[in-house]
Amino acid sequence: MFSATDIVNFLACRHLGVLERDAAAGKRDKPFSQDPSLELLRELGIRHEQNYLHNLGGGKKVAMVQIPEALSWSDAVAETTKALHSGADVVYQGTLEDGTWGGRSDFLVKVEKPSALGSWSYEVVEAKLARSARANAVLQLCFYSDILNKIQDVMPQRMHVVLGDSKVESFAVASYIAYFRKVRNDFLRAGQAPANTYPEPAELCRVCTWFPVCDKQRHMDDHLSLVAGITRNQRKHLGARDIQTLEALGNLKLPVLPKIERIGEAALVRIQGQALLQRNGRNQGKMIYEILEPIEEEKGFAALPPYQLRLLEMSFSISKAMIMPSGQESSTSWARSVSGMVQARVPCTSRSGLLTLLPRSKPLKNSSRKCWIGG
């Protein structure tokens, strides 16, 4: 059975589905990871849901049915169907199933639109901690609305997200359902097609259980994504010219003729220099860096006011969110000291790479010199 998360993940990373399929078939082991920040997010999410429940009905009594998590899947589905037929005002943690598809929605809220259930029907409400509704949330709402359509024999008119600041954003189901069904069909087709994917870095990698596996593969392949600051598009166009590895990019002789499509001269010089520096650092087995001058005063973090720079430096020092499961920082290509006018490219993306540069600046309490990082 597939869930809304499977479809959302499929959009974020095609490789993930392949790994999951292999794991389900016993062809590979799934890494075990325990991320305390995810547990914290889960707790905050539950509190957010409770808060929404508490404020539902604006002081009036609401007939709410909660489907206990402890129930078996089939019992939870049966209890949800029973609650929908009984006309409960709200079904919390309703468990919905339609053949291949199934999942637990946050809330199913009764509206006065007749359906096969009676003179009422239901719409889906999901609680999200974000401040604005993301595409993922809308796909998830479509997923549950489509199953609900089968149960009540009428498509819900709207679907809703309760945001982190308690505002509710509503969407017309008819505006999104066709796109959702296309994505869902693509997902099914991809599951039947031969696996031909690569672990291209994606935003999802930050929280993905498979990160150690994918990261190892990229390092084994010396994949271009290891070059700090390189974009996916640049990788694609370099690949079309058979430049597939960090080593190959570092060895590239400039200028390249004919020009590489869609990579400007300055960008090519920058990523080639970065690849060369990383390759040299790797070969020499030590952190090396290169001073870049002149500094561009109004670019990147240099455009931020001082108090934001301080926050940035502090968050770098204390934030675990920037640390990948392997212990690596997210992409960091240079470090700079504002008044010291030092900008440098570091050969790797690790915290230790940055720390080799920090002694060039005075500590944070000296506000005349500050250090920060950027990619």
Residues of this chain that interact with ligand SF4 (CB under 6 A) are 13, 15-16, 19, 199, 202, 204-205, 208, 210-211, 214
Please say which residue, 19 or 173, places its beta carbon nearer to ligand SF4: 19
Please say which residue, 214 or 246, places its beta carbon nearer to ligand SF4: 214
Distance CA 14, CA 39 (A): 26
Q: Minimum CB separation from ligand SF4 for residue 141, in Å? A: 23
How long, in residues, is the chain? Answer: 375
SS3 content of the chain, % helix, strand, coil (to 5): 45, 15, 40
Please say which residue, 16 or 338, places its beta carbon nearer to ligand SF4: 16
Please say which residue, 209 or 356, places its beta carbon nearer to ligand SF4: 209
| DSSP classification of residue 323 | B
Q: Minimum CB separation from ligand SF4 for residue 375, in Å? A: 17
Q: Minimum CB separation from ligand SF4 for residue 14, in Å? A: 8
Q: Minimum CB separation from ligand SF4 for residue 213, in Å? A: 7
DSSP track, 249-263: HHTPPSSPSSPPTT-
Query: Is-contact 304 312, C-beta < 8 A?
Result: yes
| Strand 107-111 with 121-127, pairing | antiparallel
Please say which residue, 325 or 340, places its beta carbon nearer to ligand SF4: 325
Strand, helix or coil at 170? strand
Q: Minimum CB separation from ligand SF4 for residue 15, in Å? A: 5
**CA distances to 56, 60, 86, 224, 356 from 282, in Å:** 58, 66, 67, 15, 15
